[in-house]
Structure 1
């Protein structure tokens, strides 16, 4: 981590409570009350046979915004826990990696509508007579739009932690928990926060599909901004859509100022460099919180005792040196647990395969399967075109933003808005533009796919450029490297691991975005492209289970093949050649 004199200076904290602590406590209480207020609406009675109509009054938008924001942060909490847990397992255990990475490849390719069609009935059966079942299905759908990018990003950060830092942790005899808390998690913090920002934006991108559920010939609209946007699209109401978009933009900017920007300033101290940049990121919220005593008090009285207790428990759990090697003795419970989980997952997969075969029996012909595979090939070409174009456009832009902290201060919220903006809210402009210019939807859908997924590449490139150690930039300047020499020698090798994560996730997200991008509807006007995304959207709405299973299976095969042949090899190349050791 940084070791400059400003980092080693004594950090003076307030020694007692002040009025600032009172403001912070009142704010926290207000957030807690708001969560309870909006969460109460999730527990009301619900009857699938008589679904109530959504109130289309614009006065309801603030309440809908609160309900949507609560779903977003609940889904993000689960996404963060899932990403850190699976990323850690995949990085530390070769057997777990062999299962987790292919599973993530498949799961990131399954469309949000595919998860909804499989989970709505299950969650409704789990909470009969309550809206909580549908709420859980919507939160799970948002979770599936957020988690994969975070999991891949954290895994890659874990496998590229500098070897000298790992060796130092071994020299000091740190336990696994201490190594994770002191070395690995801080080294991954910068990438994890940037990927979290992008993933949170991905949740906004699919919020309309998550809250306005149309599966099995049922239309269920939960109170929220997403369902309000979906109703505005159905009615072709530009005024209502504009108000919903303004509310969403307000929430995005508030999240940037209150959450993401302070986290980025906090994570800057974990950058792996020896000399500090002359322009450090700033945040008024971070500066305000540093002036409080309440978090210092909580750290001393709550957090530190808990950490000490966990360290003591870990030391007691570690076996004493004896005939068996410590790694063998300590690792067997994890192996047994891993085998039990793998056996359960295998059993569930076998049951799912047999259920799928039974559903497909007599309903799928060879010609129909060939047609679905052809549609998947067309969508694959659009995904590849989007990935190449987004790389050429956003790589230099991302490097420029990441290399200039003052620019990043203003570009960061703009990029978040672009990443979070639901593509279906552009349909009034896009549909009219395509109709006026006679643009075929088969080509225009590439633009719509890019509008939703190109940001994965931009955010990861920005994170990679910002993570370049300052001393390496100074060396490049001393040796007089200019333009292409600087790019070839320093910038491209430094950002390549980040680009691989962004491009892999963008390609996976593009398959998901094709559901929305290949079938554009505004009012009575519908434009359809020939592709697997439009096909899945149609069969999901009609509730054709055999075709839903087949189309999602074909999409998963395409994604797994691409990841196996391209992305896994690029990940391995980045891990071997481009790491800060």
Structure 2
């Protein structure tokens, strides 16, 4: 071994220290300049989007396959997915919170969530798009809002399930501590409930955005009766390239999607995951922590620190004080009998009006079903059975590899740093792009769309299970894992006593949302356009897609109702009991 001179080592250490000091002085300044540049870019982006959305309506936009069009198309698609995600996040937190704490509405809200997450995107399409176009008939904003809401319907449900499950599994002693210290509802939410559900929300946010990319092609370019809706974006670009069999354009589009996903992972998801790691409940600090250079720079930004010090912190303190004061006043008035419930007649009137509206819509829908003959009913039932078998087979195949892989990634931060970007790219990659390759390969081997549809369902649903298992493994306290090592548990004992009980609530959430995702993916998996031909197989997804193409709204309605009834029945018989088990037996408590 070569021994370096002592003077050389000393000189090198001084040079390294000098570089560290220079970076310490200049790093925050550079970051502040980057933040300023990002703010200016965001301002320009808002102006660009506002100008496009407020322009005259262009529902049949001509999609250009020139590579020079990709930056603008990518910008439009990222904005749609981003706005749909923000809408999903707000809805999921509010819906999950109300469902977890309102015992009267909980059963109804969870049943509604079961139904909504099972309804395919194309089933929302007619009502959503026609309503948005009617609201903004002369502006592009109507079609854009319709596309954003459609992407929202493909993103939101697993996030709502995740936050609801987190609140139901909140450790009892933490809730008691918040009551002892007199936390207001506002303080309890921001300092206990939202932090506890953050890890699950973060990982489900990743798979929700991946789901947005999965359905992007269906949301940016679709046929509704005799109307052809096309929006400028990566989804419509890829679908146009696939229809034209333009291989170079498909390659350019795929490379653009991959570049966006990798940038999103490095600039957003990795810093957020590293930040959320502090919300893990444990009694001893873990030796392995997820780190992020981007998060480190953000935490040491002078500009962001000044904004937090002079704006966010005073605002947070004022809100905490105001809500705590109001809650104390309310409790005092309630104890004195000054708080009166709303009049009984008013509640009955409101409920009656809502009930009449629901009854009218239900009767109108049932009258629409009179146009369907007996043979069509029989085909729908046969299709339901075929799709049911495909969905459950895809769940079994997905669980076989995602559970052990998710635990390995969640337990090993070093492995997570390597695998997470790859998984994020694979999860976000629009699987329908791969479908022509899968179908052509199966045809050469003698297979057909029946097997190919299972492959596409698997590509679209396995990530729900994987990401939830990763979140569950990361949420297991480090001291529990250390105890299992200290007592020399065998691998089987570790899985029985630590791993499976620890990930169980997250696993059930992943399986429920994966089941809904598989039903959703059936609309693409069972009905596909390839080189001017329409390939289809027996299934509910094929019935829904064909009905949407032909404008047969009665078939679309019946197939959607049957699909929702099947999903709700399975949830009631299987997933609800498992959720109750997760809330009681496998709840983390001292």
TM-score of the two chains, using structure 1 as the length reference? 0.92
Contact 1:431 1:520 in 2 (8 A): no
* Alignment map for 1:399-418 (pairs within 5 Å): 399-418=407-426
| Equivalent position of 2:19 in the other structure | none
Q: Quick check: 1:253 aligned with 2:262? A: yes
Change (3 A) 1:493 1:18: same
* Cα distance between partner residues in 1 of 2:96 and 2:290: 28
Give how far 1:338 is off: 9.7
Contact 1:145 1:202 in 2 (8 A): yes
What is the root-mean-square deviation of aligned Cα atoms in Å? 2.4
Deviations 1:127-183 (A, max 9, x none): 011111110110000000110010000110111111111111011000010001111
Farther off after superposition, 66-75 or 276-285: 276-285
Contact 2:210 2:427 in 1 (8 A): yes
Give how far 1:240 is off: 1.1
* Alignment map for 1:476-495 (pairs within 5 Å): 476-495=484-503
Contact 2:439 2:449 in 1 (8 A): no
SS in structure 2 at match of 1:214: strand
| Equivalent position of 1:522 in the other structure | 530
Deviations 1:106-133 (A, max 9, x none): 1111111111111111111100111111
* Cα distance between partner residues in 1 of 2:501 and 2:165: 15
Deviations 1:283-329 (A, max 9, x none): 11101111102222222222222223322332343235558459x98
* Cα distance between partner residues in 1 of 2:338 and 2:116: 34
Unaligned runs of 5+ in 2: 1-23
* Cα distance between partner residues in 2 of 1:399 and 1:470: 14
* Cα distance between partner residues in 2 of 1:93 and 1:86: 11
* Alignment map for 1:181-200 (pairs within 5 Å): 181-200=190-209
Match of 2:323 among 310, 314, 320: 314
| Equivalent position of 1:423 in the other structure | 431
Change (3 A) 1:40 1:439: same
Contact 2:391 2:515 in 1 (8 A): yes
TM-score of the two chains, using structure 2 as the length reference? 0.91
SS in structure 2 at match of 1:449: helix
Give how far 1:282 is off: 1.2
Match of 2:364 among 355, 358, 368: 355
Contact 1:536 1:551 in 2 (8 A): yes
Give how far 1:227 is off: 0.8
Deviations 1:78-102 (A, max 9, x none): 1000000000001111112122111
Change (3 A) 1:208 1:548: same
* Cα distance between partner residues in 1 of 2:339 and 2:470: 40
* Cα distance between partner residues in 2 of 1:66 and 1:119: 23
Give how far 1:525 is off: 4.7
| Equivalent position of 2:298 in the other structure | 289
| Equivalent position of 1:34 in the other structure | 45
| Equivalent position of 2:558 in the other structure | 550
| Equivalent position of 1:434 in the other structure | 442
Q: Quick check: 1:579 aligned with 2:590? A: no
Q: Quick check: 1:464 aligned with 2:472? A: yes
Give how far 1:341 is off: 8.2
| Equivalent position of 2:288 in the other structure | 279
* Cα distance between partner residues in 1 of 2:122 and 2:472: 32
Change (3 A) 1:221 1:233: same
Give how far 1:331 is off: 9.9
Change (3 A) 1:285 1:498: same
SS in structure 2 at match of 1:18: helix
Match of 1:132 among 106, 120, 141: 141
Contact 1:198 1:459 in 2 (8 A): yes
| Equivalent position of 2:187 in the other structure | 178
| Equivalent position of 2:377 in the other structure | 369
Change (3 A) 1:329 1:89: farther
| Equivalent position of 1:24 in the other structure | 35
* Cα distance between partner residues in 2 of 1:115 and 1:511: 14
| Equivalent position of 1:6 in the other structure | none
Larger radius of gyration: 2
* Cα distance between partner residues in 2 of 1:323 and 1:126: 44
SS in structure 1 at match of 2:434: helix
Change (3 A) 1:268 1:446: same
Give how far 1:261 is off: 0.7
Q: Quick check: 1:46 aligned with 2:57? A: yes
* Cα distance between partner residues in 1 of 2:346 and 2:147: 30
Q: Quick check: 1:380 aligned with 2:388? A: yes
| Equivalent position of 1:455 in the other structure | 463
| Equivalent position of 1:4 in the other structure | none
* Cα distance between partner residues in 2 of 1:337 and 1:404: 57
Between the two proteins, the alignment pairs up a number of residues equal to: 564
Change (3 A) 1:451 1:275: same
Contact 1:116 1:213 in 2 (8 A): no
Farther off after superposition, 29-38 or 554-563: 29-38
Contact 1:427 1:521 in 2 (8 A): no
* Cα distance between partner residues in 1 of 2:544 and 2:229: 19
Farther off after superposition, 187-196 or 300-309: 300-309
* Cα distance between partner residues in 1 of 2:87 and 2:350: 19
* Cα distance between partner residues in 2 of 1:343 and 1:249: 51
Contact 1:105 1:559 in 2 (8 A): yes
Q: Quick check: 1:94 aligned with 2:84? A: no
Give how far 1:217 is off: 2.2
Contact 1:431 1:522 in 2 (8 A): no
* Cα distance between partner residues in 2 of 1:556 and 1:320: 42
